[in-house]
Amino acid sequence: MAKRNKIIYWVATIWLALGMISTGIVQILKAREGQGGADMIIHLGYPVYFLTIIGIWKILGVIALLIPKNSLLKEWAYAGFFFLMTGALFSHMLSGDPVTEWPPSVLLLLLTIMSWHFRPLNRKMVVAPK
């Protein structure tokens, strides 16, 4: 069972990292077209400078997830990805986008949850009993 969980963790984490890095780069470069690009962010009602903020935090979050140790930092990265992807999903829903626009946000949200859930013990925060 432990081996299966480790495989699920690494597959989900690698796909999550690739998704966040690729969209983060697109956002930092402020590409006009494509998922997460300037045209989409304007359509959703956010300012274009928001792309730089999101892109930088995505890349820093991926670094936090992939480096060893720093469990607290990893928890913050997972929380940030969760808030970012639920925010993206609800932004698409509330702006009236068709369901066909939702899958990238849903996929990254599911990968975030899977990576967090299946992370090994050495990547979890350990709370000392009182």
93 within some domain: yes
How many domains is the chain built from?
A: 1
Residue 102 CA to residue 35 CA, distance in Å, equals 10
Tokens 């939702």 belong to which residue?
102
For residues 107 and 19, the answer to whether their CB atoms sit within 8 Å is yes
In a domain, 55, yes or no: yes
The contacts of residue 18 (CB under 8 Å, 6+ apart) are none
The predicted pLDDT at position 81 comes to 97
Grade residue 107 by pLDDT with cuts at 50, 70 and 90: very high
Q: Which helix (H) or strand (E) holds 37?
A: none
Identify the sign of the CA torsion 35, 49, 88, 24.
positive
Residue 19 is assigned to a structural domain of this protein: yes
Expressed as residue numbers, the domain containing 82 is: 2-119
For residue 129, tell me if it sits in a domain: no
Residue 108 lies in a domain: yes
DSSP state of 35: T
What is the total residue count of the chain?
Answer: 130
Residue 125 lies in a domain: no
Q: What is the pLDDT of residues 41-95, one digit of tens each?
A: 888 889 989 999 999 999 999 999 999 888 899 999 999 999 999 999 999 999 9
Q: Is the residue at 49 inside a domain?
A: yes
What gap in Å lies between CA 60 and CA 20, rounded to an integer?
10
- Report how far residue 25's alpha carbon sits from residue 33's, in angstroms, rounded to the nearest whole number: 13
C-alpha span between 58 and 56 (Å, rounded): 5
Q: Is 128 within a domain?
A: no
pTM: 0.87
